[in-house]
Amino acid sequence: MNIYLTSYGVDTRHKEYMNCYDEIINLLKNKKVAIIPNARLYNQSRSSSLNIKKELEINDIEVYIIDLEIQDLNVNDYDALYFSGGEPKYLIDSINKANKFNDIQEFINKGGIIIGQSAGAMIFNKEYIDTSTEKLKILDNGFDYANKIIVPHFENLPKEILNKLPKDILKIRDCDKLIKLN
């Protein structure tokens, strides 16, 4: 399984957290990559996805931003899918609305490369935290590849949220190297 998780990925607006930059670039060298920006709503800023695209292009990686709300994603056209940050619920909702959930699972099961950044990482466990609401709510319609709820930016969460989280979680700190799911 080629699923890799990170808090910030190659979004250089957060240079202090670029510990996995080289790992991601090396993974994606000579690959055709689709960035999925749908963890942010269409009317929200998607500057993270634009920064990711720019960094990958600087490194001579062929990359496209595929907005699931307005474009069709044919996973067979790509070697890697990069899910950027935002709200995991928005991302899963877009994947389901575009009828791409099964296609993405098949892509993963056939060995396709996945980079999940922040919210894009959270969706790779069946259960994930809905960060679009003030109350702690756990949804259960994510991909079932991790055995723990995935929590990026762990060390930066407020104590009141940390105290409410389940105890058995996969913590992704901002400065962590790239985490590969097994």
Whether the predicted pLDDT of 161 surpasses 90? no
| Domain count of the fold of the chain | 1
CATH for 85: 3.40.50.880
The model's pLDDT over 1-45, given as tens digits with 9 standing for 90+, comes to: 999 999 999 988 777 877 899 999 999 999 999 999 999 876 666
Residues spanned by the domain of 128: 2-180
Amino acid 179: pLDDT: 94
Average pLDDT over residues 119-136: 90
- Reported as a single tens digit per residue, the pLDDT across 146-155 is 999 999 998 8
User: In the predicted model, what is the mean pLDDT of the chain?
Assistant: 92
Query: What per-residue confidence (pLDDT) applies to 43?
Result: 64
> How far from 116 is each of 24, 88, 128, CA to CA, in Å?
11, 11, 13
Label residue 110 by pLDDT band (50, 70, 90): very high
Pick 115 or 135 by higher pLDDT.
115
- Strand order through the sheet with 113-117: 62-65, 32-36, 80-83, 113-117, 2-6, 179-180
Please enumerate in sequence order all residues whose Cβ is within 8 A of that of 81, keeping only pairs 6 or more positions apart, or say none: 33, 34, 36, 75, 104, 107, 112, 113, 114, 115
